[in-house]
Homo-oligomer: A and B are copies of this chain.
Amino acid sequence: MNKYYTITELTREFGVSTRTLRFYEDEGLIHPERRGRTRLFRPADRHLIKEILRGRRIGFTISEIREIIQVYKDPPGEIGQLQLLMQKVSEKRDDLRQKRRDIDETLTELDNVEEACLTRLAEIGVGT
């Protein structure tokens, strides 16, 4: 019977505040239904929020996220717009690939830090 989520259910699930979800609505990222003035979130909204938060984690701005959502809702019909979009997609992809390289490098760096810690601990442990 088409489950609805309340706002706090979702804030608990995703670890965000109600303010955040309202903010996303103000920004036009989500459009929960209303019963009176109270927001009712459907599974589709919930899914969208998941994607928004994923975008947030990797550093997309609200308007970038909005753009992506827009594309899914109604992809541009004009050739120029399509080409522009493809260009942006390509830039974003390069961006993300760079970010992944950065992450990989940082991960190995963190491994080094950890190993240094372990060695250090061993030293201290032996000394006492």
Contact = CB atoms under 8 A, between A and B. Distances in A.
A75 B110 contact: no
A59 B60 CA distance: 10
Interface residues of A, number: 39
Given A59-B59, A75-B116, A120-B75, A96 B106 contact: yes
A102 B99 CA distance: 11
B106 A75 contact: no
A79 B113 contact: no
B89 A57 contact: no
Contact of A89 (B77, B100, B113): B113
A93 B117 contact: no
Interface of A: 54-55, 57-59, 68, 71, 75, 77, 79, 82-83, 85-86, 89-90, 92-93, 96-100, 102-107, 109-110, 113-114, 116-118, 120-121, 124
Given A79-B121, A79-B124, A92-B110, 16 more contacts: A54-B102, A54-B106, A57-B99, A58-B59, A71-B113, A75-B117, A82-B120, A86-B117, A89-B110, A89-B114, A93-B107, A96-B107, A96-B110, A97-B107, A99-B103, A100-B100
